[in-house]
Structure 1
């Protein structure tokens, strides 16, 4: 896959520069999250993006020109219907309704190639839906690590909540869990997200 130049708008550039000027506080602006996903996809030559937590579909919209296939899982029926309508007619986008801790396993079973996983399916108040758990992260990771396809890149949003919110595991606990599933991964935290990457693909 040829590397595509990463362009951002003047407004996004200003937002990015302002965030850097303020010392990179968490959470970062949306463009930082977009750039993280795009950079990992380019580096790994991955053409499939799987998101948990569709919300209004803004990440799908931002990423749809950079992937050949995008799947997004949303627990809220209302948000699912809105996102489904937003991307109606776009064959490369599939919005799935349900609990990502369950639906992700079904989706992964159908994969024939590696994917970038953007895990943002945790409860965050407001219009977001609340499942049996505030975060299904352990279930999501288990499905990914059990995948017959190797080389997946995992990016977990809102790292600041892990270890500070009692409903979330600490980053150390999460790291031990991931290493127990696959010792050949590197786990890093940067810009309010946790990156779990195959060791051979780091750098």
Structure 2
């Protein structure tokens, strides 16, 4: 009970700090982590398969496991992968996969059917996060998702940090324009909107 109270107090304190920082920034993107997580869950289809790119510390993975029938989380950075593998070793509906999404998607997606949610957050974010040969693999990811579209039922694709998808901005170097995502969503006949720095395409 003491551990539960201590953990709950820690989470509440962190949320208050992140919310205070967000207010100080005039509620500009990015939103606090817990708000983005709530957005991801609300837009995803319930009891569906989740495919997540970028496990990082596994906090979002843990959340997805409570709302999805199965979670495939792809993490290319060896230390983060090993830590996540240990953390979720006893969680039956979570599978941690080591590799880049570009290398994993072509073999993984043909094995998935039914309703599917994608949380695409696998890009270099500094620190220990994986830095590949390109800033973001989003174009390759969307291509493979489209190739397997016929296998899926309902589909929700959420792309994080949409503010960076502007090559005219210094922080957007290496990212494609947001028009690429809009065109892809239209081609897949998915409705789309942007919420809390997340591009959401679903249908």
How high is the TM-score relative to the length of structure 1? Answer: 0.82
Structure of greater Rg: 2
Residue 193 (structure 1) aligned with residue 194 (structure 2): no
Match of 2:48 in 1: 47
Cα offset for 1:15? 5.9
- Residues 9-28 of structure 1 aligned to structure 2 (within 5 Å): 10-11=12-13, 14=16, 18=20, 19=22, 23-28=26-31
Task: Say if 1:34 and 1:63, in contact at 8 Å, map to a contact too.
Answer: no
Cα offset for 1:76? 0.8
**Structure 2 residue matching 1:172: 3-state secondary structure:** helix
Match of 2:176 in 1: 169
Match of 1:70 in 2: 71
The 2-side partners of 1:170 and 1:32 are apart by 25
Match of 1:160 in 2: 163
Cα offset for 1:178? 3.7
The 2-side partners of 1:36 and 1:104 are apart by 24
User: Alpha carbons of 1:15 and 1:49: their partners in 2 closer, same or farther (altered >3 Å)?
Assistant: farther
CA RMSD of aligned residues (A): 2.1
Residue 92 (structure 1) aligned with residue 93 (structure 2): yes
The 2-side partners of 1:34 and 1:129 are apart by 21
The number of aligned residues is: 186
Match of 2:61 in 1: 60
Moved over 6 A (4+): none
User: Alpha carbons of 1:24 and 1:70: their partners in 2 closer, same or farther (altered >3 Å)?
Assistant: same
How high is the TM-score relative to the length of structure 2? Answer: 0.82
Q: Provide, for residues 62-85 of structure 1, a one-character-per-residue CA deviation record: whole Å limited to 9, x for no partner.
A: 332222211100111111111111
User: Alpha carbons of 1:17 and 1:27: their partners in 2 closer, same or farther (altered >3 Å)?
Assistant: closer
Cα offset for 1:11? 4.9
